[in-house]
Structure 1
Amino acid sequence: MRMIDFFDRGARIAASRPCLVTDAGTRTYAEVAERSRAIANMLVADGFAPGAHAAVLSGNAPVAFEAILGILRADGVWAMANHRAGVAENAYLFDLLDIDTVFIAQEVGDRVPALREQCPRIRRIIALDGPIDGCDFFLEDKANDASPVPQRRDGLDDELAFLANTGGTTGRSKGVMLSNGNWQALVSSLVASMPMKVPPVNCVAAPMTHAAGPLALASMALGGTVVVLPKFEPEAVLRAIETHRVTYMFLPPTAIYMMLDHPGVESFDLSSLEYISYAGAPMALERLKQAIRVFGPVMNASFGQTEAPMCVTAMPPHEHLNADGELAHPGSCGRPNLLSIVEIMDDAGNILGPGERGEIVVRGPLVMQGYYNNPEATAEVSAFGWHHTGDVGVRDEDGWFYVVDRKKDMIISGGFNVYPAEVEDALLAHPDIAQCAVIGVPHDKWGEEVAAFVEMHSGRDLDAEAVGTFVRDRLGPVKTPKSISRVDALPRTNAGKISRAELRKPFWEGQGKTI
Structure 2
Amino acid sequence: MNGPTGPAPRGGVAPCSRRVMNLAHFLRRAARRWPDAIGLAWGDRSWSWGALDARVDAMAAALAARGVTKGDRVLVQARNGNQLFESMFVCFRLGAVWVPTNFRQTPAEVAYLASASGASALICGTEFPDHAAAIRAAAPGLGLVVEIGGSTFGLDYDALVDAHAGAAAPTADVEHDDPCWFFFTSGTTGRPKAAVLTHGQMAFVITNHLCDLMPGTTEADASLVVAPLSHGAGIHQLAQVAAGAKTVLTGGARLDPAEVWSLVERWRITNLFTVPTIVKLLTEHPAVAAHDHTSLRHVIYAGAPMYREDQKRALRALGPVLVQYFGLGEVTGNITVLPPRLHSAEDGPGVKVGTCGFERTGMQVQIQNGAGLEVPAGETGEICVCGPAVFAGYYDNPEANAAAFWNGWFRTGDLGHLDPEGFLFITGRASDMYISGGSNVYPRETEEKLLRHPAIAEAAILGVPDPAWGEVGVAVCVARPGAEITEAALIAWLSGEVARYKLPKRVFFWDELPKSGYGKITKRAIREELEARNCLPLEVGPAAKR
The reply to whether TM is greater than 0.5 is yes
Letter in 1 for 2:313: Q
Counterpart Cα distance in 2 of 1:482 and 1:509:
12
Judged with a 3 Å threshold, the aligned counterparts in structure 2 of structure 1 residues 9 and 429 are, in CA distance, closer, same or farther, namely farther
Judged with a 3 Å threshold, the aligned counterparts in structure 2 of structure 1 residues 19 and 354 are, in CA distance, closer, same or farther, namely same
DSSP 3-state at the match of 1:502? helix
Q: Is the 8 A contact 1:414 1:448 kept in 2?
A: yes
Q: Is the 8 A contact 1:301 1:315 kept in 2?
A: yes
Counterpart Cα distance in 1 of 2:108 and 2:29:
38
Report how far residue 462 of structure 1 moved: 2.4
1:15 equivalent among 8, 28, 35 = 35
Partner of 1:179: 198
Q: Which stretch shows the higher mean deviation, 346-355 or 454-463?
A: 454-463
Judged with a 3 Å threshold, the aligned counterparts in structure 2 of structure 1 residues 41 and 470 are, in CA distance, closer, same or farther, namely same
Counterpart Cα distance in 2 of 1:33 and 1:55:
21
Q: Is the 8 A contact 2:228 2:234 kept in 1?
A: yes
Q: Is the 8 A contact 2:257 2:287 kept in 1?
A: no
Judged with a 3 Å threshold, the aligned counterparts in structure 2 of structure 1 residues 458 and 88 are, in CA distance, closer, same or farther, namely same
1:190 equivalent among 209, 217, 227 = 209
Report how far residue 502 of structure 1 moved: 2.5
5 Å-filtered alignment, 1:258-297, equals 258-297=281-320
DSSP 3-state at the match of 1:449? strand
Report how far residue 71 of structure 1 moved: 1.7
Partner of 1:341: 364
Judged with a 3 Å threshold, the aligned counterparts in structure 2 of structure 1 residues 472 and 196 are, in CA distance, closer, same or farther, namely farther
Aligned-pair identity (%): 32
DSSP 3-state at the match of 2:306? coil
Partner of 1:149: 169
Counterpart Cα distance in 2 of 1:168 and 1:508:
24
| 1:216 pairs with 2:237 | yes
Partner of 2:224: 203
Partner of 1:138: 156
| 1:362 pairs with 2:385 | yes
| 1:299 pairs with 2:322 | yes
Normalising by structure 1, we get a TM-score of 0.95
Q: Is the 8 A contact 1:7 1:217 kept in 2?
A: no
Counterpart Cα distance in 1 of 2:492 and 2:407:
44
Partner of 1:472: 495
Partner of 1:57: 77
Q: Deviations over 1:377-418 (max 9, x none)?
A: 111110122000000010101110011100011111111111
Partner of 2:146: 126
2:182 equivalent among 160, 163, 172 = 163
Q: Is the 8 A contact 2:270 2:298 kept in 1?
A: yes
| 1:34 pairs with 2:21 | no
Q: Is the 8 A contact 1:60 1:207 kept in 2?
A: yes
Report how far residue 237 of structure 1 moved: 0.9
Counterpart Cα distance in 2 of 1:336 and 1:21:
34
How many residues align? The count is 508
Report how far residue 184 of structure 1 moved: 1.1
Letter in 2 for 1:39: M
Judged with a 3 Å threshold, the aligned counterparts in structure 2 of structure 1 residues 192 and 79 are, in CA distance, closer, same or farther, namely same
Q: Is the 8 A contact 1:63 1:129 kept in 2?
A: no
1:462 equivalent among 480, 485, 492 = 485
Partner of 1:502: 525
Higher-Rg structure is 2
Judged with a 3 Å threshold, the aligned counterparts in structure 2 of structure 1 residues 197 and 97 are, in CA distance, closer, same or farther, namely closer
Q: Deviations over 1:417-458 (max 9, x none)?
A: 111111111111212111111011221110111110011111
Counterpart Cα distance in 1 of 2:115 and 2:48:
36
Letter in 2 for 1:83: F
Letter in 1 for 2:242: A
Q: Which runs of 5+ in 1 are unaligned?
A: none
Judged with a 3 Å threshold, the aligned counterparts in structure 2 of structure 1 residues 284 and 85 are, in CA distance, closer, same or farther, namely same
DSSP 3-state at the match of 1:334? strand
DSSP 3-state at the match of 2:496? helix
Letter in 2 for 1:108: F
Partner of 1:94: 114
Judged with a 3 Å threshold, the aligned counterparts in structure 2 of structure 1 residues 252 and 195 are, in CA distance, closer, same or farther, namely same
Letter in 2 for 1:369: A
DSSP 3-state at the match of 1:408? coil
Report how far residue 62 of structure 1 moved: 1.2
Counterpart Cα distance in 2 of 1:418 and 1:309:
29
Q: Deviations over 1:45-98 (max 9, x none)?
A: 111121111122111111211122112212211112111100000000110001
Q: Is the 8 A contact 2:217 2:243 kept in 1?
A: no
Counterpart Cα distance in 1 of 2:480 and 2:234:
31
Counterpart Cα distance in 2 of 1:26 and 1:381:
42
Counterpart Cα distance in 1 of 2:289 and 2:468:
50
Counterpart Cα distance in 2 of 1:70 and 1:326:
51
Superposed CA RMSD: 1.9
Normalising by structure 2, we get a TM-score of 0.90
Counterpart Cα distance in 1 of 2:522 and 2:240:
30
Q: Is the 8 A contact 2:315 2:344 kept in 1?
A: no
